[in-house]
């Protein structure tokens, strides 16, 4: 990199790179920077290439860490990138690719260096790397610009305004945000000043949400573990979705709720003309129809299922819209297929799919309508030929199959509870059941009764003392209330969701690579 270097083997020999990491300061106005960021290099598109790049960058970045407190060259590089981004709009209008090319290269250098910085130093030391400026030994300048905050804001601005301008630059921005900035937000949130201005924070989030949501609704989907760009035709969309999940699952600050989670919980439909202005901060609008279509068309990966769960559970506007749809089979069938192939899915993915069904079955209208939707020839259901069956009967079959799988394999009490709760919610609206579904319900009841009697017998045998044999007291008649269960998150859901989301980033992000030896947040057995 630098001076047209394009091979990893030449990286350490590049004079431009040596100048960047050396002890001598280079002002951002020097011609040197044009030479440094004028190179041709193919960015990694798989984890293996990313690992090779990082191995080549690590010794160079460590040298810069030693020299940057005196030279301030890292801050100068960041300012050069910021200056190039200011020219992007004009360059695009003039069809001049120079600034786009140089901005991409400058961002690529910043990303590679920050990746090592984050791993090698504490939060305070990392923050200082952005504040160092050229100074003589023994002197100190207490006034410095907050480059970190400006960099993050600039990247978010690029996502919103340059999505249709240059795919290469935007993919670099999303990688940068996914690979480093999410970690920076986590690590440096106590150090970054939070302005109390509602309008400023709204604008900052609207930039992020507008760009990420617009990209996702074009049809984004994340890849399954081990799948790289050659099997994932929409890497930009995948990175956007992963970044959105990371941001939305950040923990709240002591005096500052997570603005991303707030936005996810209250955004509205652009087609709803009756919507009144919301008093909630960070509110924005999106086309619910486009989002709904993207959700059911791409409902195959963990991250899309997790997004659907988040919207159903936390956003009442989106939940109401989904439950009002007359084509619910489009959304429910992919969820049922996930559960049907339970042995091929990780436990977290199955758990999220079941919670989605439980939330849907809390609505009586949904429980009635699913028995009116007739389906034909469900190809993925192979246990028995189902030429015609209602959506409700198919849902019953899949949930009961999941219960039986759990009883013989995983024995997860939470999975069991959610399955039975969903069936109980639907039970009052059972009608026109397929004969096979009715048989499976009877078989399940017989199995549960057998287990209940066994437990009751054990409990009776453990009782001490004589039982009253001549109890002639009259017992009143009781009418049991209708069974109804509602999903409630645990008191500290972040203990589950934060490791889950980051395991998805680790396994699914295209072209990103982290050392597995340094992972402490989740086990390598996680999805």
Residue 462, in any domain of the structure: no
Tokens 């199995």, located at residue: 447
Domain boundary residue, one of 426, 454, 482: 454
Shared domain for 202 and 163, answered yes or no, is no
Shared domain for 168 and 221, answered yes or no, is no
Write down the pLDDT at residue 257.
85
Lowest-pLDDT range of 216-225, 227-236, 263-272, 366-375 = 216-225
Share of the chain above pLDDT 90, in %: 30
Shared domain for 76 and 188, answered yes or no, is yes
CB 391 within 8 A of CB 404: no
CB 177 within 8 A of CB 246: no
Shared domain for 152 and 219, answered yes or no, is no
Q: What is the DSSP string of 361-382?
A: TT-HHHHHHTTT-EEE--TT--
Residue 479, in any domain of the structure: no
Instruction: Pick left, alpha or beta for residue 489 (phi over 0 → left; psi -120 to 50 → alpha; otherwise beta).
Output: beta
Tokens 């809390």, located at residue: 362
Share of the chain above pLDDT 70, in %: 72
Instruction: Identify which of 118-122, 137-141, 386-390, 414-418 has the greatest average pLDDT.
Output: 386-390
Does 131 have pLDDT greater than 60?
Answer: yes
Shared domain for 161 and 227, answered yes or no, is no
Average pLDDT (464-480) is 57
Residue 459, in any domain of the structure: no
Domain boundary residue, one of 454, 478, 511: 454
Report residue 506's pLDDT band, with 50, 70 and 90 as the boundaries.
confident
Tokens of 241: 């979705």
Shared domain for 12 and 103, answered yes or no, is yes
- If DSSP codes are grouped into helix, strand and coil, which group holds residue 391? helix
Backbone angles phi and psi of 285, in degrees to 5: -120, 150
pLDDT one-digit tens code per residue, 192-204: 333 333 344 444 3
Q: Is the dihedral of CA 32, 33, 38, 39 positive or negative?
A: positive
- Cβ-Cβ contacts under 8 Å for 248 (sequence gap 6 or more): 258, 260, 261, 264, 310
Q: Which residue has the higher pLDDT, 297 or 473?
A: 297
Q: State the Cα angle at 143 between 118 and 113, rounded to 5°.
A: 20
CB 148 within 8 A of CB 130: yes
Q: Which of 102, 192, 183, 106 shows the shortest CA–CA distance to 147?
A: 192
Residue 477, in any domain of the structure: no
pLDDT one-digit tens code per residue, 212-253: 443 344 333 333 334 444 455 556 677 788 888 988 998 887
Write down the pLDDT at residue 75.
92
Distance CA 430, CA 428 (A): 6
- If DSSP codes are grouped into helix, strand and coil, which group holds residue 34? helix
Tokens of 254: 């002591």
Residue 471, in any domain of the structure: no
- Cβ-Cβ contacts under 8 Å for 161 (sequence gap 6 or more): 89, 207, 211
Domain that holds residue 183: 1-135+145-193
Number of residues assigned to the chain: 527
Distance CA 483, CA 320 (A): 22
Backbone angles phi and psi of 27, in degrees to 5: -65, 145
CB 32 within 8 A of CB 73: no
Residue 262, in any domain of the structure: yes
CA dihedral 132, 134, 138, 144 (to 10 degrees): -40
Write down the pLDDT at residue 372.
94
Shared domain for 318 and 330, answered yes or no, is no
Backbone angles phi and psi of 268, in degrees to 5: -125, 175
Q: Which residue has the higher pLDDT, 265 or 146?
A: 265
Shared domain for 331 and 309, answered yes or no, is no
Residue 467, in any domain of the structure: no
Write down the pLDDT at residue 2.
54
Distance CA 304, CA 312 (A): 12
Residue 465, in any domain of the structure: no
pLDDT one-digit tens code per residue, 401-459: 999 888 887 777 788 889 999 999 999 899 999 999 999 999 988 988 888 888 888 77
Q: Cα–chain-centroid distance for residue 109?
A: 26
Distance CA 8, CA 26 (A): 24
Shared domain for 309 and 399, answered yes or no, is no
- If DSSP codes are grouped into helix, strand and coil, which group holds residue 48? helix
Buried b (16+ CB within 10 A) or exposed e, 123-162: beebbebbbbbeeeeeeeeeeeeebbbebbbbbbbbbbbb
Q: Which residue has the higher pLDDT, 246 or 276?
A: 246
CB 389 within 8 A of CB 374: yes
Total domains in the chain come to 3
Shared domain for 317 and 208, answered yes or no, is yes
Residue 268: DSSP 8-state: E
CA dihedral 471, 475, 479, 483 (to 10 degrees): -40
Average pLDDT (273-285) is 68
Q: Which residue has the higher pLDDT, 161 or 48?
A: 48
Domain boundary residue, one of 174, 193, 212: 193
CB 364 within 8 A of CB 429: yes
Shared domain for 300 and 448, answered yes or no, is no
Shared domain for 177 and 39, answered yes or no, is yes
């Amino acid at each position: 990199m630098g001076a047209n270097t394009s091979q990893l083997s030449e990286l350490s020999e590049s004079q431009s790179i040596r100048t960047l990491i050396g002890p001598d300061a280079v002002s951002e106005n020097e011609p040197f920077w044009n030479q440094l960021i004028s190179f041709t290099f193919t960015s990694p598109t798989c984890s293996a290439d990313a690992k090779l790049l990082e191995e080549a960058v690590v010794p160079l970045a460590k040298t810069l860490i030693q020299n940057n407190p005196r030279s301030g060259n890292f801050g100068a590089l960041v300012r050069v990138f910021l200056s190039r981004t200011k020219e992007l709009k004009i360059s695009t209008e003039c069809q001049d690719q120079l600034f786009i090319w140089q901005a991409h290269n400058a961002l690529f250098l910043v990303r590679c260096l920050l990746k090592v910085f984050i791993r090698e130093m504490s939060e305070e030391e990392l923050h200082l790397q952005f504040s160092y400026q050229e100074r003589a030994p023994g002197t100190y300048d207490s006034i410095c610009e907050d480059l970190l905050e400006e960099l993050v804001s600039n990247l978010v601005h690029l996502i919103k305004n340059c999505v249709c301008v240059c795919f290469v630059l935007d993919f670099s921005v999303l990688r940068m945000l996914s690979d480093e900035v999410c970690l920076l937000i986590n690590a440096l949130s106590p150090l970054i000043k939070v302005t109390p201005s509602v309008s400023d924070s709204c604008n900052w989030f609207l930039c992020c949400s507008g760009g990420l949501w617009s990209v996702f609704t074009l049809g984004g989907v994340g890849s399954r573990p081990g799948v790289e760009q050659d099997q994932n035709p929409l890497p930009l969309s995948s990175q956007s979705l992963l970044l959105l999940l990371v941001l939305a699952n950040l923990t709240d600050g002591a005096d500052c709720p997570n603005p991303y989670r707030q936005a996810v919980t209250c955004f509205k439909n652009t087609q709803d003309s009756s919507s009144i202005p919301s008093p909630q901060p960070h509110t924005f609008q999106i086309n619910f129809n486009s989002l709904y279509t993207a959700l059911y068309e791409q409902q195959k990966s963990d991250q899309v299922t997790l997004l659907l769960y988040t919207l159903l559970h936390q956003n009442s506007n989106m939940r109401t819209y989904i439950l009002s749809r007359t084509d619910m089979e489009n959304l429910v069938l992919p969820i049922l297929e996930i559960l049907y192939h339970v042995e091929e899915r990780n436990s977290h993915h199955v758990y999220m799919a079941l919670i989605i069904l439980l939330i849907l079955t809390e609505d009586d209208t949904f429980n009635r309508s699913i028995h009116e939707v007739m389906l034909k020839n469900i190809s993925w259901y192979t246990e028995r030929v189902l030429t015609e069956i209602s959506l409700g009967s198919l849902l019953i079959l899949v949930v009961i199959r999941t219960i039986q799988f759990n009883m013989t394999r995983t024995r997860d009490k939470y999975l069991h509870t959610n399955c039975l709760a969903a069936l109980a919610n639907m039970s009052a609206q059972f009608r026109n059941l397929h004969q096979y579904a009715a048989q499976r319900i009877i078989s399940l009841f017989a199995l549960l009764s057998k287990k209940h009697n066994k437990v009751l017998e054990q409990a009776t045998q453990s009782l001490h003392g004589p039982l009253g044999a001549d109890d002639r007291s009259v017992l009143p008649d009781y009418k049991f209330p209708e069974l109804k269960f509602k999903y409630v998150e645990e008191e500290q859901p972040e203990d589950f969701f934060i490791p889950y989301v980051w395991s998805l980033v680790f396994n699914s992000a295209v072209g990103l690579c982290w050392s597995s030896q340094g992972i402490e947040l989740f086990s390598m057995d996680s999805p």
